[in-house]
């Protein structure tokens, strides 16, 4: 997808995030003049003739065929997120989990492996360690998120390196440029889950990421109403340089009319393969109404993220100084192991997802959790509302003790997704809950 396509009357690259988030990918529809993005609630699209239908299937002309392949509302979301991340194309899917699955399934087959950092969202860990394993695809968890530990795991069968730019819930900030360098030196792409950071705080493609995935369910939607996932193709990886490793993109694809993706789709070959092989045949399609709701969220994402980050800074300081709190993990503190990386990658900001432990361990932590009123106890993040989770008993429950330690999940750890309510009310709720512990 050329950049002109993202925002027709001005090059997207000169526009700021706040503007792209509101306009990229859509101009008022020339027929209806609708200023809001229409919800194309349709399954299929009429062919002008039998020949037109055949030409669409033969890829001789462009156009919509069936919503499992493409939909005009979803296309606006895809262009908007591609513009925000600085990619050439994107694919929207039904959830973040589907986005992660497709992003890897596109490149991996039985007998191949990929290398991952150990600090991952729980369901991502399970997908890698158990689901892919049953399909004959090996995940190699590096000892840490450091580039030398990642490099040590790459071999000739490796097809990708995977990380979360900011780990959930560990809060580790990955040195993306270093990871991209070791991946590229060994001829494999870097895939980055940028959900926690959001493209407002960090754009992984600038540091060498080849693919960016998101759970749009979180900060993009922003209101805890809508599931969705996005895969963004940076368009930079030289697939043609490794024709055997990436035969699915460089050789004719039997699953889709014998197309050779790098020839048919150029820089967006990878995104096109995700769409026409993974999405078309396994079907985790994003409902168009959900695409519309996610677009509504994205319009205010920059404003919300700014407030999330500021409120989290105040919460981290408050907890740090509270006599009942044993520890706080927050990259904004100068003594945090991730402070320097926050300066480099997050523009000096720290993520609004933070963790802490209460003195007295899990029992005291559980009492605190149970006493919260404004903070909702649940498993989600990036909502306008303040949210609290105990990862070890919920999102990461399936991990054993050693796996929990490797993923950076302490037994007593409470994870906060700090919302955008008034900060005084947020601090008052935390204060009364800690008093109750």
Residues that bind ligand PLP in the complex, under the rule CB under 6 A: 95-97, 121, 123-124, 164, 168, 193, 195-196, 215, 217, 227, 229
Quick check: 222 and 230 in contact, CB under 8 A? no
Q: Which residue has the tokens 């694809």?
A: 253
Closest distance between ligand PLP and the C-beta of residue 221, in Å?
Answer: 9
Query: Please, which residue, 210 or 253, has the CB nearer to ligand PLP?
Result: 210
State the CB neighbour count (10 A cutoff) for residue 345.
Answer: 25
Query: Please, which residue, 157 or 394, has the CB nearer to ligand PLP?
Result: 394
Query: Please, which residue, 73 or 168, has the CB nearer to ligand PLP?
Result: 168
185-to-94, 142, 181, 244, 316 alpha-carbon distances in Å: 33, 17, 6, 17, 39
Query: Please, which residue, 116 or 195, has the CB nearer to ligand PLP?
Result: 195
User: Given 3-state DSSP classes, what are the helix, strand and coil percentages for the chain, each rounded to the nearest 5?
Assistant: 45, 15, 45
Pick the closest to residue 376 from 229, 224, 170, 215 (CA basis): 224
Which token pair is 37? 């993005």
Closest distance between ligand PLP and the C-beta of residue 397, in Å?
Answer: 14
Query: Please, which residue, 227 or 430, has the CB nearer to ligand PLP?
Result: 227
Closest distance between ligand PLP and the C-beta of residue 1, in Å?
Answer: 24
Closest distance between ligand PLP and the C-beta of residue 123, in Å?
Answer: 6
Closest distance between ligand PLP and the C-beta of residue 179, in Å?
Answer: 16
Query: Please, which residue, 123 or 312, has the CB nearer to ligand PLP?
Result: 123
Q: In what order do the strands lie in the sheet with 376-377?
A: 325-329, 353-358, 414-417, 387-389, 376-377
DSSP β-bridge partners for residue 215: 229
Closest distance between ligand PLP and the C-beta of residue 217, in Å?
Answer: 4
**Positive or negative CA dihedral for 242, 247, 248, 249?**
positive
Our separate counts of H helices and E strands in the chain read 20, 12
Query: Please, which residue, 119 or 311, has the CB nearer to ligand PLP?
Result: 119
Closest distance between ligand PLP and the C-beta of residue 349, in Å?
Answer: 18
CB-nearest residue to ligand PLP: 96
User: Torsions phi, psi of 396, nearest 5?
Assistant: -115, 20
């Amino acid at each position: 997808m050329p950049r002109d396509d993202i925002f027709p009357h001005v090059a997207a690259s000169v526009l700021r995030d706040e503007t792209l988030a509101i306009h990229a990918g859509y101009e008022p529809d020339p027929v209806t003049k609708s200023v809001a993005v229409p919800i194309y609630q349709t399954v299929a699209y009429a062919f002008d003739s039998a020949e037109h239908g055949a030409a669409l299937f033969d890829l001789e002309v462009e156009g919509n065929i069936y919503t499992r392949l493409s939909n005009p509302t979803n296309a606006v979301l895809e262009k908007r997120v591609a513009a925000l991340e600085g990619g050439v194309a994107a694919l929207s899917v039904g959830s973040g989990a589907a986005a992660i699955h497709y992003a890897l399934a596109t490149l991996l087959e039985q007998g191949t492996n990929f290398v991952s950092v150990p600090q991952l969202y729980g369901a991502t860990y399970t997908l890698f360690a158990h689901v892919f394993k049953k399909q004959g695809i090996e995940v190699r968890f590096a000892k840490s998120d450091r580039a030398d530990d990642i490099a040590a795991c790459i071999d000739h069968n490796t097809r990708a390196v995977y990380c979360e730019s900011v780990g959930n819930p560990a809060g580790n900030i990955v040195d993306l440029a270093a990871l991209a360098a070791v991946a590229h030196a060994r001829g494999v792409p870097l895939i980055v889950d940028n959900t926690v950071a959001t493209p407002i705080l960090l754009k992984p493609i600038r540091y060498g990421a080849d693919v960016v995935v998101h759970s749009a369910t979180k900060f993009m939607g922003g209101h805890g109403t809508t599931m969705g996932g996005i895969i963004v193709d940076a368009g930079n990886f030289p697939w043609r340089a490794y024709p055997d490793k990436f035969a699915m993109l460089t050789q004719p694809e039997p699953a889709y009319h014998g197309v050779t993706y790098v020839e048919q789709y150029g820089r967006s070959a990878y995104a096109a393969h995700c769409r026409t092989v993974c999405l078309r045949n396994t079907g985790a399609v994003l409902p168009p109404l959900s695409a519309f709701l996610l677009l509504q969220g994205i319009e205010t994402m920059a404003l919300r993220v700014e407030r999330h980050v500021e409120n989290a800074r105040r919460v981290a300081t408050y907890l740090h100084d509270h006599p009942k709190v044993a520890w706080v993990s927050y990259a904004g503190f100068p003594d945090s192991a991730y402070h320097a990386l926050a300066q480099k990658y997050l523009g000096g900001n720290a993520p609004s997802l933070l963790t802490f432990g209460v003195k007295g361990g899990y029992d005291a932590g559980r009492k605190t959790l149970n006493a919260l009123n404004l903070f909702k106890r649940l498993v989600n993040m990036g909502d306008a509302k303040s949210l609290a989770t105990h990862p070890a008993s919920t999102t990461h429950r399936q991990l054993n003790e050693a796996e929990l330690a490797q993923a950076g999940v302490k037994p007593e750890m409470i994870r906060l997704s700090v919302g955008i309510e008034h900060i005084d009310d947020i601090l008052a709720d935390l204060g009364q809950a800690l008093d109750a512990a």
